[in-house]
Amino acid sequence: MYLREVLARPASRVVAEGGNEFKDASGVPTTKQNATEMDADAALRSLGKALKLPLEKYKTGSIIYPHAETGDADTVLDPADYIEVDPALAPKAVQDQFRAWLAARLQTAGYKELPKKASIDVAGKYYKIAGDGLTASVEIPGLGEWLQVDLDIAEPSEGEFSRWSKRGEPNEKGTLKANRAKGAFRHILKSGIARAINPDWKWSFKGGLVDEKTGEQTKNPAEVAKKLFGKTGQAADLDNISTILSKLKQTRPELYPDIVAKVNDGIAKMKYDYRLE
């Protein structure tokens, strides 16, 4: 599952890696931990065919990049695309409603629900509740291996933003897990930039850029980029950590060293070796 609301956690807490929902009794994952984007696409096609949903269309996370190595395939579904949404219901209630709809489809496709902390002896067709969505153990066609596929659920009509927000980071093939850039680090970086520019600004992967004083909320990537980088800011500047750092250095060089130092300190406290430069 996409890394949890990192900014709400104490910095000293270790962030859970993806691909660890299905384990045997000794704690060893039963799903592939170094899957390629091709493995992920194959698993998404297979599960999508079983559920009659175009899962590849909704993929996000690290598998949007070539040469990805990952422990899970991330996808985000929007309830408004598939069920009638009652405008009187809170977004969380709609997400829960859609999760039940999605679970029924998994069950029809032969998947068995497991409790959150349940272990399994052998990989198979299982699913669990995870965050706002579900996560499934899916066989990669032709390989005899299994992959964790995360079926996250956006707030209604927020699917496009959620998939953009939860995009992963490009990493060179063979990069050790502890050294990999992660989407969560990008959100910490954006949060640091926002606070450095305006103490009333808060960034989160769910809420976008929010002015806590006025209540103004911005989720459009192009608009967010202009607020963070000025009039030359563009949506592409927020694609990944590298593009953000390049634009930050260009437009706000006086803030760059302090922001990077604070972000690196936060990443180190989470027990990762990756560092911004």
**230-251 pLDDT per residue, tens:** 999 999 999 999 999 999 999 9
Average pLDDT over residues 181-191: 94
Look at residue 74 and tell me if it is in a domain: yes
Q: Are residues 164 and 216 in the same domain?
A: no
- Going by C-beta distance under 8 Å and a sequence separation of 6 or more, which residues neighbour residue 58? 75, 76, 77, 78, 159, 163
Examine the domain organization and report whether 250 and 152 are in the same domain: no
pLDDT of amino acid 89: 96
pLDDT at 260: 96
231 is in which domain, residue-wise? 183-269
Residue 228 lies in a domain: yes
255 plus 138 within the same structural domain: no
Can you read off the two tokens belonging to residue 119? 């272990």
Lowest mean pLDDT segment, chosen from 12-16, 108-112, 127-131, 262-266: 12-16
Kindly tell me the burial class for residue 124, based on how many C-beta atoms sit within 10 Å of its own C-beta (0-12, 13-18, 19 or more): middle
Q: Domains in the chain: how many in total?
A: 2
Please give the structure tokens belonging to residue 224. Answer: 């967010």
Given a cut of 80, whether residue 60 has pLDDT beyond it is: yes
- Do 198 and 255 share a domain, yes or no? yes
Q: Are residues 42 and 155 in the same domain?
A: yes
CA distance 240 to 43: 25
Residue 253 CB partners (closer than 8 Å, separation 6+): none
Residue finishing a domain among 139, 168, 197: 168
Is 84 within a domain? Answer: yes
Please identify which residue in the block is written with the tokens 């980071």: 169
Which pLDDT does position 6 carry in this prediction?
40
Looking at the structure, tell me whether residues 163 and 231 fall in a common domain. Answer: no
60 within a domain of the structure (yes/no): yes
Task: Please give the pLDDT value at position 67.
Answer: 82
277 within a domain of the structure (yes/no): no
In the chain, the percentage of residues whose pLDDT exceeds 90 is 81
> Cβ distance 20 to 56 under 8 Å?
no
Examine the domain organization and report whether 245 and 125 are in the same domain.
no
pLDDT for 7 beyond 50? no
What is the structure's pLDDT at 18?
Answer: 67
**Residues 259 and 188 grouped into a single domain:** yes
Residue at a domain's end among 111, 137, 168: 168
**Is position 224 within any domain?**
yes
* 150-156: average pLDDT: 97
Q: Identify whether residues 64 and 133 lie together within a single domain.
A: yes
Assess whether 158 and 198 both reside in one domain. Answer: no
Q: What is the dihedral of CA 160, 131, 260, 12, to 10 degrees?
A: 180
Q: In terms of domains, do 140 and 199 share one?
A: no
Residues 145, 207 share a domain: no
Rounded to 5°, angle at Cα 220 from 93 and 76: 45
